[in-house]
Amino acid sequence: MKVIKIDKAKWASGVSSLQGTYKIIGPAVDGDAHNFKELAKGEEPDFNFLNTKLSPKSIVFPQSEKMLEYSVDENKEDHHIMKEVKKDYSPRAVVGIRPCDAKAINLVKMNFDTDDYKDPYWLKLYEATTFVGLACDKPCDSCFCTSTGCGPYNEEGLDILLKEDGASYVAKALTEKGETLLGAAGFSDAGDEAAFEAGKKDAEAKITSSVQTDKLKDFSTLDLYNADFWEDLSFACLNCGTCTFACPTCWCFDIQDEVKGKDGVRVRNWDSCMFPLFTMHTTGHNPRGTKEHRVRQRFMHKLKYFVDKYEKGIMCVGCGRCVNQCPVNIDIRKVCDVMNNHVPEPVK
């Protein structure tokens, strides 16, 4: 594993020289917060942020994405035949992704990359992307990554881990993809790995918020599902869907056809389990017809179904976005603890 030292004075020119080979996506000021966007030539990723308002999941899973295209013009020989859309899968690098968001992309990969089916859209963007993480030395109050199997220096899902170290950055190449990028940027001075050890310890100590998840896997699904706390936990929910859009591990989507003139596209858009239409049958019957059903689905999915299905822990990386952005202060940390501390009714 190569560790490289990058003088901050050489950083901008290095990133800029990458732009011949890579699209660079980095944090930038977007209204009242930071978000990830493609940076123009000469534009530097702005590291003066705690975390971005939206997660960077859209880099591999755009909010709206063309899947297929076709013509409905009956004068054309191939009308009503669906075709692949030509897309840009040239190399790109996301520079400054937080370790929690990188781990989230790894968790979501399990949904899109299965033994039976591969989602080509998600996987091709994933494969085209080099993930350059930025360690968190100043975690937010709402961060609880250390209790979700993640952490401010977590390396999972990253090709490079960067950390700030005074007048320089230290970069740890974690994969071949990462080494290639560092080489292309012309960064080659040897760095000291010890910086990571010390930084990690300090950063982890700053995270004071946590969740308890140890008992989740032992409950029967129906014990948790039928527990009496869901009405209370969902009472204030507006079903606005903010949590699902901000969440780096939420992946649900809708598929729609759109036709303009005689040209049609099949697109997929982010969807949300908070919306009644998500599950409504044509008959009007809705298996998750109340907000209590929908809130329960979201938390059961993240904290029970996912845990049981993949045995890789919970589907939450502790980024705290939903905690900060929920308009009615529903807090996944509280929900998780209530679930984990549930005492099932004794069997009569």
Partner 1 sequence: MENPYLPYPVRIDDIEVATEDKSLKTFKFVFLNEGDEEKFAYQAGQFAELSIPGVGEIPIGIASSPVEKGFVKFTVFKSGVVTTHLHQMKVGDVMGLRGPLGNWYPWDTLEGKNILIIGGGFAFTTLRSSIVYMLDPANRSKFGNIDVVYGARTPGMLLYKDELVEWEKRDDINMHLTIDTEAPNWDYNVGFTPTITEQKAPQADADTYAIVCGPPIMIRFTLPVLENLGYKNDRIILSLENRMKCGIGMCGRCNIGKELVCKDGPVFTLEDINLTPKEY
Instruction: List residues binding partner 1 (CB under 8 A).
Output: 67-68, 70, 72, 79-82, 84, 111-112, 114, 116-120, 123-124, 220-222, 225, 251-257, 259, 264, 266, 268, 271, 273, 278-283, 287-288, 293, 297, 300-301, 304-306, 308-309
DSSP reduced 3-state for 163: strand
Residue closer to partner 1, measured from CB, 260 or 348: 260
Taking the complex as a whole, how short is the minimal distance between the CB of residue 78 and partner 1, in angstroms? 9
Q: How much is the CA Rg of the chain, to the nearest whole Å?
A: 22
Residue closer to partner 1, measured from CB, 9 or 222: 222
> How far, in Å, CA of 35 to CA of 31, rounded?
9
90 with 292: CB under 8 angstroms?
no
Residue closer to partner 1, measured from CB, 41 or 285: 285
60 with 98: CB under 8 angstroms?
no
Residue closer to partner 1, measured from CB, 122 or 144: 122
Residue closer to partner 1, measured from CB, 14 or 62: 62
Taking the complex as a whole, how short is the minimal distance between the CB of residue 106 and partner 1, in angstroms? 16
Residue closer to partner 1, measured from CB, 48 or 282: 282
Residue closer to partner 1, measured from CB, 79 or 334: 79
On the 0-12 / 13-18 / 19+ scale of CB atoms within 10 A, 302 is buried
Taking the complex as a whole, how short is the minimal distance between the CB of residue 115 and partner 1, in angstroms? 11
Taking the complex as a whole, how short is the minimal distance between the CB of residue 240 and partner 1, in angstroms? 18
Taking the complex as a whole, how short is the minimal distance between the CB of residue 180 and partner 1, in angstroms? 22
> How far, in Å, CA of 296 to CA of 28, rounded?
35
Taking the complex as a whole, how short is the minimal distance between the CB of residue 309 and partner 1, in angstroms? 5
How many CB atoms are located within 10 Å of the residue 52 CB? 24
> How far, in Å, CA of 49 to CA of 250, rounded?
23
Residue for token digits 């029967």?
Answer: 220
Taking the complex as a whole, how short is the minimal distance between the CB of residue 128 and partner 1, in angstroms? 13
335 with 326: CB under 8 angstroms?
no
Locate 340 and state its tokens.
Answer: 């984990």
Mutual angle of helices 176-185 and 8-18, in 10-degree steps: 100
Residue closer to partner 1, measured from CB, 120 or 183: 120
> How far, in Å, CA of 340 to CA of 334, rounded?
10
| Cα separation values, 51 from 44, 62, 246, Å | 17, 19, 12
Taking the complex as a whole, how short is the minimal distance between the CB of residue 5 and partner 1, in angstroms? 39
Q: Give the closest residue to 297 by CA, choosing from 306, 309, 310, 284.
A: 306
Locate 3 and state its tokens.
Answer: 């560790």
